[in-house]
Chains A and B, each alone.
Chain A
Amino acid sequence: MEISRKDFLKGAAGATGLLLLEPPAMALAKESQTHSGMAMLVDVTKCVNCWWCYAACKEYNKLPETVRPDPAQPPALSPDVWTTLHSVKKGDEWVSRKKACNHCTEAACVEVCPTGALSYNKLGFVQYDREKCSGCGYCAEACPFGVPQMEANKTTGVAIMNKCTFCHDRVTNGEPPACAAACTTGAITYGQRAELITEAAERINDLRQHNTEASVYGVDELHGLHVMYVLDDSPEVYGLPTEPEVPPSTIVRDVLRWLGSGLAIAAMAGFGLNYLVARLRMNRGEK
């Protein structure tokens, strides 16, 4: 088995006694998953606003039912709403993008999560272990798409995050996520990411023949999203940032961890040396 660079860096870090740290060169070390793993392709031109994806998500994940959704007022993402629609009025019709976690290859939420509640699954999605969540809320602040949602008591600070899990137990058993399984029009397709990229390219070629605004989103963003979009317009129209990024403060924190740990270890070594030298010179002085 080949050793990835990340594993190597981890090993090297462990060997130098900095076991508690992630290597800072996260962008460098990230395994190239751009064309690997499983993904979903969401095509706004095929969505008919039936909300079955929303209902299937609620049912499968046992989330409390709230209101009957309406494209004019779609429910916002919340601890109980993991998937919803971002609807745009075009002429007399509502065109909708399914909105949920995009399962980034380089995910800001995973990078900032201190407890390992958020992690990368081998299949390419961002895995969430609710049991491990401390409720710190770093992910909710860092996510460029505003996906993680906090249930929080401001005074006590007790909180927990919720978000789309990519139906972890379904996909690891070879089933599509509940939303994709429920979609009857082909607006949500589940499959190998590489194949979906090809499919997206074909669809966009067709669309561009009569619509030059049509675009694909998520192929390269953040080293590749595991939810990609075929759009009949520019990404901003559907609430997707053109240049999503992991916040720079995250990288500064990484540097601080290394700097701090290094200085603390150096200080300890310095004290040891200082003790020996001071003892020796003071004894000599007394003689």
Chain B
Amino acid sequence: MAEARTVERFKKRTIWFHWIHTAAFLVLLVTGAMLFLPGLGGPAAGGLTRSIHRIAVIFFVGAPIVYFILNPRMTLHFIKETLTWDKNDFQWVCNAPDYYFGGDEEKMPPQGQVNSGQKMWQFIVLATGILFVISGCLMWFFKDILSPTVFGWSVVVHDVAFLLALLMLLVHIYTGSLHPRMNESFRSMLDGKISKKYARNHYGKWYEKISASDK
């Protein structure tokens, strides 16, 4: 038989984790926006959405914890990779505007399992996640103890994290599912596979590594 034309990019459990975390975040986003944009406040009356917000948090915080317990090495590798930046990454960022506007693919330095832009997104997810949890816990559990000033600024921190996460999420959704160049990206988050050609073009370093270890 001819050899497989695709390679596995994401494991099933990673895909599950991705979508559970996404769903939780979207619920948090919608129920949170109701307290952020006064024009959306209507459905928050009665406070049901605030309870939903708290239930969604269980999944938003719980999913990464469960994922870490099941896959400690993969998770640590993910965090390490997110935080490791070398000159290739900076080169990539400099060339990125032209690349995303349809420029020459050859100019991009070969990437590992995720490209530098994805690393930026992962960093925002980690950083805003921490900000969300800290400011959220303050507002949830320590409301009675906090001075009004500290409470006020906790809300602001929650807002800032929300805006950073929202803007990067928009970029993530666009580049991950609509951008003409990233045509295999969305499907790979459903079945975990990408074509070898796509892997070679987009994640050259990673592709070389996995093909070498296959032999």
Residues of A within 8 A of B (CB): 19-22, 113-117, 131-138, 141-142, 152, 154, 156-160, 247-250, 252-253, 256-257, 259-261, 263-264, 267-268, 271, 274-275, 277-282, 285
- The smallest beta-carbon distance between B117 and chain A, in angstroms, is 13
Q: Which 10 A-B pairs have the closest CB atoms?
A: A20-B39, A281-B102, A249-B152, A278-B102, A115-B41, A134-B44, A135-B47, A114-B41, A260-B163, A132-B45
Secondary structure type dominating chain A contacts: helix
Residues of B within 8 A of A (CB): 34-42, 44-47, 49-51, 53-54, 100-104, 140-141, 143-144, 146, 148-149, 151-153, 155-156, 159-160, 162-163, 166-167, 170-171, 174, 178-181
A141-B152, A256-B163, A260-B166 known; A278-B39 Cβ under 8 A: no
Interchain CB contact under 8 A, B143 and A137: yes
- The smallest beta-carbon distance between B168 and chain A, in angstroms, is 10
Interchain CB contact under 8 A, B152 and A142: yes
* Number of A-B contacts defined by CB within 8 Å: 144
- The smallest beta-carbon distance between A51 and chain B, in angstroms, is 28
Interchain CB contact under 8 A, B44 and A19: no
A249-B149, A256-B163, A263-B167 known; A114-B178 Cβ under 8 A: no
B35: nearest chain-A partner, CB-CB: A114
Point out the residues of chain A lying under 8 angstroms from B152, CB to CB: 141-142, 247-250
A282: nearest chain-B partner, CB-CB: B102
A156: nearest chain-B partner, CB-CB: B51
Point out the residues of chain A lying under 8 angstroms from B54, CB to CB: 156-157
Point out the residues of chain B lying under 8 angstroms from A141, CB to CB: 143, 146, 148, 151-152
